[in-house]
Structure 1
Amino acid sequence: MSGVLAGISDARLYSACVVVLLYLTTCAYFLWPRRGPAIVSSGGDRAGAPTLIAFASQTGFAADLANRTAQSLQAAGAPVLLASLQNIDEQILRQVNSALFVVSTTGEGDAPDPAAGFVRNILDRSIPLKEMSYGVLALGDREYDNYCAFGHRLDQWLRHQGATALFDVIEVDNGDEGALRHWQHQLSVLSNSPDLPDWEAPRYERWRLTARRHVNPGSAGDACFHIELQPPAGASARWQAGDIAEIDPRNSTWDAKPEPLPHREYSIASLPADGAIHLLVRQMRRPDGEPGLGSGWLTAGAKVGDDIAVRVRSNPNFHAPESNVPLILIGNGTGIAGLRSLIKARIARGRHRNWLIFGERSVAHDCFYGDELDRWRAQGQVERIDLVFSRDQPERRYVQHRVRECADDLRRWVDEGAAIYVCGSLLGMAPAVDAALSEVLGVDTLEQLAIAGRYRRDVY
């Protein structure tokens, strides 16, 4: 045993000990009698304020997921505070800049029993939380009418206090593995740690890489590639616009490695009628200059004709509206992929009241799917397209600037029943667009659109 320990670096040993300590402390929190506030604090390698991870659990599942969330962030070096909602008060909320909530719904849309005090003392009050950014993982069962109701109530209250949602509520139906992997993906983005291991290894299928095209040669940004993946022979591949392709980098599960690599998520840019999954993948670079694990595999490591481990994850929160309402689509960068599939779905159903606001660096190099967009506009299948290129003039211009400039038209479209879908970067574009929409439409209106399902985001 001493020989094994000698082979582990001090940093790794320290990290492992803290994770174990966090786990044991959390177990003690659940199993031992206690009085007063009980909050588990765990430091990390990185400086900065800790992320609050708060849970409301009826059966213990939400508590377990909150503990896993804490372990993942701590493994990435981020400090965390782990606590039950019953021990969260106004003072704690006011001091937190970043929070993640893992909450169950019980009965007819109620909060779990331990959170009754939080509901009574906090949710019925107004507490300014403009400094807080947050995410919500809502657990529920679709067989009940008020599915994930408490998670959505908490989200709405936080929005109303001025807190900024990092991403839309992630709903988990009876422990759905795909939804939980999506939560883990968001944790990797928030912690800037793309190599966080999956909690459970997904089951993949063998798809074939049939096409790869560099679409932005000469760009000031990293190289982007259009990727096409064909399903296994005889397979009935099904997905909807808005769904996600999960990729296993280098097919680690087939190579029988002891620990599967963390999956990567990409918005699907095509429909089943296209015969293949289309992706738009930016070749990310690590600090040492090496290609990212997933993007490097898809854009350079794998060869055309190779098998790729793929799993399609349903993303119902970003499916196209069922009714024939106007649709405003806003995005940047590779976010055009998810918006492209939505536009294709709308066109296939004869719904042409579509307005795209899209931003990138340069029109000469980064106008992704430009010929296709021109054709759709010329044929009247997309009513309006506003393109913003940040580097094509001395001052930097982004999609949020165009949103403000189009204020009158945006208000008119919303008054006519339009839904707003946003796809792109989580830490740059999404909050800036959210702020611009709040200014243009009003905070209360944007909140009501979110509650009604008319404001949806797929950000990463």
Structure 2
Amino acid sequence: MRVLKASAVVLAWLLFCAFIAGSRALARRRLRMTAPAGSSPILVAYASQTGFAQRLALQTAQSLQASGAPVQLLPLGEVTAAMLQSAGRVLFVASTTGEGDPPDTCIPFVRRVMRADAELQGLHYGLLALGDREYRNFCGFGHELERWLRRHGAQPLFDPVEVDNADEGALRHWQHHLELLGGGAPLPDWSVPEYQRWRLVERRLLNPGSLGGPAYHLALQPLEGIPQWRAGDIAEIGPRNAPRRVADALQAVGLPPATPMPDGEALSAWLARSLLPPDLADLRGRTARQLAESLRPLPHREYSIASIPADGRLELLLRQMRQPDGSLGLGSGWLTAHVAVGEEVALRIRENPGFQAPADARPLILVGNGTGLAGLRAHLKARIAAGHRRNWLVFGERSRDRDYFHREEIEGWLKAGHLERLDLAFSREQEPRVYVQDRLREAATELKAWVDEGAAIYVCGSLEGMAPAVGRVLADVLGAGTVERLLEQGRYRRDVY
């Protein structure tokens, strides 16, 4: 089986070899030239054995470039410590060969850079780790690289993305991070998800009058089969353009809405799911075939699932976002305003093993803010269903009266003994403001005791602000060495965005 998989990878490499060989020098020259005066490009460094990591690195660089970000693309073997110290931001695409070994091409980096002292406190990095779960040391070199970066002071831009055998869902998650790094402009997915048909059956505003953005509880039911998922998994949504945007596009095209596209779909429906140009005048005069050849599907949007299959429906907790021009965000606008209750939604469930909880009854500490409660709620539901009662929730938002999402449910769990401890941080109710990291620090003695008893810590919510602040408190209270061991043991996990 491994030989067949290796052969498939080699075949893929041969197919892309001519493309990469011919474009690499051009890409590197072009990407370096995009940096405005005085700006520092994002360095994309790849460690490739068969060519797959190199191809993904090139796609990564091109995606960032398309969003206007200056980029430099290099093989990891050519990267020096001085480059890392001056780069500011680096994205690593790292494959693993054999039983956890680095690719041959990056041995110079391992010997010259990773075995020497390096001061990387100013470096922010992202990591795409490629591997095969059939091997014991899955993503071994990627994990080794990440431990080395953390040990020398580098800070993650987001949690490492692990890819098992070119899993397209994991690669789309990487693209999600690239889109955020590029300023949030929609970028086409490298591969379009195979969505299933779901129906929106409930939408409820949870925080009327809040100082923050509107937050909604949504429920969806499948129209095809009975899908399964685990707490911690992700819902990938296939959004649609706003109806007004579609109407404007139709006017620019000048064709009737029912005009058939090459695949038989009506033009109006096809435009609704297509990534339209900022200036719709660019569509003027195009035929249906020309539109089909030039426009790509809208990129997916992903949300933490807030329920478990036993609930009989998939539930989400999400905030309605707005663009700088005041228009609604692509995914949140579709789900909270444009699609009507009773209408269909394109949705795919993506497994998220990096945030799935342990199956045993060990204590679980759940920390989150805002709509990060979604993933934590699913974990609590799963723990309650399994009869595991050693659960500690630390949740923060702005106001107890306006923003205490699912309050009755949470306090019911506390009263019934399903939650052993509940700590709340409502930041706008006192001065100085109090956040979840402050509640953790106040409970330092209990935190250490739970960890000593084998507790796992799961954090869900804001990547900026909350997640790094929680990480600093954990290091202060538990010690940096203990936090490192928790990470290595899979007892400290994050789903942050």
Could you tell me the TM-score, scaled by structure 1's length? 0.90
* Deviation, structure 1 residue 279: 0.3
1:275-329: CA deviation from partner (whole Å, max 9, x where unpaired): 1110011000011111111101100100000000000000011111122211111
Structure 1 residues 404 and 267: CA distance shift in structure 2, 3 A: same
Matched, 1:176 2:167: yes
1:350-407: CA deviation from partner (whole Å, max 9, x where unpaired): 1111111111111110001111110111111011111101111132222122222222
Match of 1:290 among 327, 330, 346: 327
Structure 1 residues 46 and 371: CA distance shift in structure 2, 3 A: farther
Matched, 1:403 2:472: no
Partner in structure 2 of residue 106 of structure 1: 97
Match of 1:208 among 186, 199, 203: 199
Partner in structure 2 of residue 83 of structure 1: 74
Query: Which secondary structure state, in structure 2, belongs to the residue aligned with residue 73 of structure 1?
Result: helix
Give the letter for the 1:168 counterpart. Answer: D
C-alpha separation in 2, matches of 1:29 and 1:44: 15
Give the letter for the 1:401 counterpart. Answer: D
C-alpha separation in 2, matches of 1:27 and 1:413: 51
Deviates more, 1:99-108 or 1:438-447: 438-447
1:398-453: CA deviation from partner (whole Å, max 9, x where unpaired): 21222222222211111111111111112222122212222222222111111111
C-alpha separation in 2, matches of 1:171 and 1:98: 19
Give the letter for the 1:218 counterpart. Answer: G
Partner in structure 1 of residue 87 of structure 2: 96
Query: Which secondary structure state, in structure 1, belongs to the residue aligned with residue 299 of structure 2?
Result: coil
Structure 1 residues 42 and 338: CA distance shift in structure 2, 3 A: farther
Matched, 1:155 2:146: yes
Residues 53, 83 of structure 1: 8 Å contact kept: yes
Residues 332, 423 of structure 1: 8 Å contact kept: yes
Residues 29, 38 of structure 1: 8 Å contact kept: yes
Partner in structure 2 of residue 425 of structure 1: 462
Give the letter for the 1:157 counterpart. Answer: W
Partner in structure 2 of residue 242 of structure 1: 232
Match of 2:137 among 138, 143, 146: 146
Match of 1:256 among 270, 274, 293: 270
Match of 1:166 among 153, 157, 167: 157
* Deviation, structure 1 residue 163: 1.3
C-alpha separation in 1, matches of 2:381 and 2:75: 44
Give the letter for the 1:375 counterpart. Answer: G
Query: Which secondary structure state, in structure 1, belongs to the residue aligned with residue 72 of structure 2?
Result: strand
Matched, 1:365 2:402: yes
Deviates more, 1:396-405 or 1:365-374: 396-405
Matched, 1:281 2:318: yes
Per residue, is there more helix in 1 or in 2?
2
* Deviation, structure 1 residue 194: 4.5
Partner in structure 2 of residue 218 of structure 1: 209
Match of 1:266 among 281, 295, 303: 303
Match of 1:28 among 15, 25, 30: 25
Give the letter for the 1:90 counterpart. Answer: A
* Deviation, structure 1 residue 203: 1.0
Partner in structure 2 of residue 13 of structure 1: none
Structure 1 residues 118 and 128: CA distance shift in structure 2, 3 A: same
* Deviation, structure 1 residue 26: 5.0
Matched, 1:129 2:120: yes
Deviates more, 1:43-52 or 1:150-159: 43-52
Query: Which secondary structure state, in structure 1, belongs to the residue aligned with residue 428 of structure 2?
Result: coil
Partner in structure 1 of residue 452 of structure 2: 415
Give the letter for the 1:318 counterpart. Answer: F
Deviates more, 1:75-84 or 1:285-294: 75-84
Partner in structure 1 of residue 390 of structure 2: 353
C-alpha separation in 2, matches of 1:59 and 1:167: 26
Query: Which secondary structure state, in structure 2, belongs to the residue aligned with residue 91 of structure 1?
Result: helix
Partner in structure 2 of residue 321 of structure 1: 358
C-alpha separation in 2, matches of 1:441 and 1:185: 32
Partner in structure 2 of residue 391 of structure 1: 428
Match of 1:188 among 179, 182, 187: 179
Partner in structure 1 of residue 61 of structure 2: 70
Structure 1 residues 406 and 96: CA distance shift in structure 2, 3 A: farther
1:88-125: CA deviation from partner (whole Å, max 9, x where unpaired): 11111111221111000001110000011111122222
C-alpha separation in 1, matches of 2:38 and 2:313: 44
Partner in structure 2 of residue 447 of structure 1: 484
1:123-170: CA deviation from partner (whole Å, max 9, x where unpaired): 222312111121111111111111110001111111111211233221
User: Gaps spanning 5+ residues in structure 2: where?
Assistant: 1-18, 247-262, 272-291
C-alpha separation in 2, matches of 1:245 and 1:237: 12
Count of aligned pairs between the two proteins: 432
Residues 38, 83 of structure 1: 8 Å contact kept: no
C-alpha separation in 2, matches of 1:98 and 1:409: 37
Task: Report percent identity of matched pairs.
Answer: 56
C-alpha separation in 1, matches of 2:309 and 2:386: 14
CA RMSD of aligned residues (A): 2.2
C-alpha separation in 2, matches of 1:126 and 1:403: 33
Partner in structure 2 of residue 34 of structure 1: none
C-alpha separation in 2, matches of 1:45 and 1:120: 34
Give the letter for the 1:447 counterpart. Answer: E
Structure 1 residues 232 and 331: CA distance shift in structure 2, 3 A: same
Query: Which secondary structure state, in structure 2, belongs to the residue aligned with residue 230 of structure 1?
Result: strand
C-alpha separation in 2, matches of 1:25 and 1:406: 58
Residues 20, 55 of structure 2: 8 Å contact kept: no
What are the within-5 Å matches in structure 2 for residues 8-27 of structure 1? 27=24
C-alpha separation in 1, matches of 2:478 and 2:451: 9
Match of 1:436 among 449, 463, 473: 473
C-alpha separation in 1, matches of 2:463 and 2:182: 12
Residues 231, 382 of structure 2: 8 Å contact kept: yes
Residues 212, 228 of structure 1: 8 Å contact kept: yes
Structure 1 residues 50 and 272: CA distance shift in structure 2, 3 A: same
* Deviation, structure 1 residue 25: 7.8
* Deviation, structure 1 residue 47: 7.1
Query: Which secondary structure state, in structure 1, belongs to the residue aligned with residue 447 of structure 2?
Result: helix
Match of 2:189 among 198, 211, 217: 198
Partner in structure 1 of residue 349 of structure 2: 312
Give the letter for the 1:27 counterpart. Answer: R
Could you tell me the TM-score, scaled by structure 2's length? 0.83
Residues 31, 65 of structure 2: 8 Å contact kept: no
Query: Which secondary structure state, in structure 2, belongs to the residue aligned with residue 322 of structure 1?
Result: coil
